[in-house]
Amino acid sequence: MPSYKLAARKYNAQDTVIEIPGPHNPVSIGAGYCTVIAGPCAVENHSDYIEIAQTLKSIGIHILRAGLYKPRTSPYSFKGLGGEGLKIVEEARQVTGLAVLTEVLDVRDIEDLYPHIDIFQIGSRNMQNFSLLEELGRTDKPVLLKRGLAATIEEWLLAAEYLLDRGNHKIILCERGIRTFEPYARNTVDIGAVPIIKHLSHLPILVDPSHATGRAEMVGPVAKAAVAAGADGLLVEVHQHPEAALSDGRQSLTPEQFRRLYAQIGKLAELEQRILQ
């Protein structure tokens, strides 16, 4: 198997820092920063989404999760508002000035999403959806590439290579847990992936403790571990009423829990000489 070139550390001795223009102000992901992206699993309705966006902005974040298309294991689960929710997202973006991150599942949706979102997300199930990788490789927007559930680090970097090879160099990796035999948490966070990626590649890496663990009580410890291990940031689910969430409530923090975690992350970021944002 030919290996990755553009994703390799030797292609770029300096850590890549990605600047996201955002609706009002730019925000950076990479060396020197600890960037926390937060928000509910899915956009559920207008008022709740605008409210949580404002709350999270007040806590200090700069990038908002904006789940519109939800990949669901069962065809009978809530699949998100889809394109219908895009107006809500755009409003939240303009009202708060937060940049937004949205997962895209289908190449045919890229065009509609493009003007309204700041970072495209490729979810773990689509890490090797090569059509999607190639199409997003042709855009000029940053792409957050989640690790597949059973992807080796080499395969993950090769998936990033698909994007880089098409010309998009704004790639952010995101560890979100791998599948193992251990049944207690949803997945097993591969914390070692953080130093490994730093060693093998120049690309920034975030960690998503919410999807990885599936349990709100584990989010804090794992988030702190990720920052201490050198991750460039986090992806955290926050919901006003986790018990009433249409998806993944079990793993969502309340705004109050998130506020406390954000403060703790700030202290760790300081030890690592990173600017929290």
9: its two tokens? 């550390």
Tell me how far CA of residue 224 lies from CA of 42, 97, 130, 202, 245, in angstroms.
Answer: 24, 27, 33, 22, 25
Residue choice 8, 31, 50, 107 for contact with its own copies (CB under 8 A)? 107
Binders of its own copies in range 136-195 (CB under 8 A): 148-150, 152-155, 158, 161-162, 165, 178-185, 188-195
Q: Establish if 10 lies at the interface with its own copies (CB under 8 A).
A: no
- Binding residue for its own copies, selected from 217, 241, 260, 275, defined by CB under 8 A: 217
Give me the least distance between CB of 89 and its own copies, in Å please: 20
Amino acid letter, residue 152 = T
**Closest separation between CB of residue 232 and its own copies, Å?**
13
Q: Distance of alpha carbon 93 from its chain centroid, rounded? A: 17
Contact criterion met (CB below 8 Å) for 203 and 172: yes
The distance from CA 25 to its chain's CA centroid, rounded to whole angstroms, is 19
Q: Which is nearer to its own copies, 9 or 57 (CB)?
A: 9
| Least CB distance to its own copies at residue 47 (A) | 27
Spatial contact of 235 and 37, defined as CB atoms under 8 Å apart: yes
Asked if residue 207 lies in contact with residue 223, where contact means CB atoms within 8 angstroms, the answer is: yes
Q: Which stretch binds its own copies (CB under 8 A): 12-20, 34-42, 84-92, 265-273?
A: 265-273
Tell whether residue 11 is a contact of its own copies (CB under 8 A): no
Q: Give the strand pairing for 99-103 and 63-65.
A: parallel
Q: Does 64 bind its own copies (CB under 8 A)?
A: no
φ/ψ (deg, to 5) at 54: -65, -40
* Binding positions for its own copies, rule: CB under 8 A: 1-4, 71-77, 105-108, 125-126, 128-131, 148-150, 152-155, 158, 161-162, 165, 178-185, 188-196, 198-199, 212-213, 217-218, 220-222, 224-230, 264, 267-268, 271
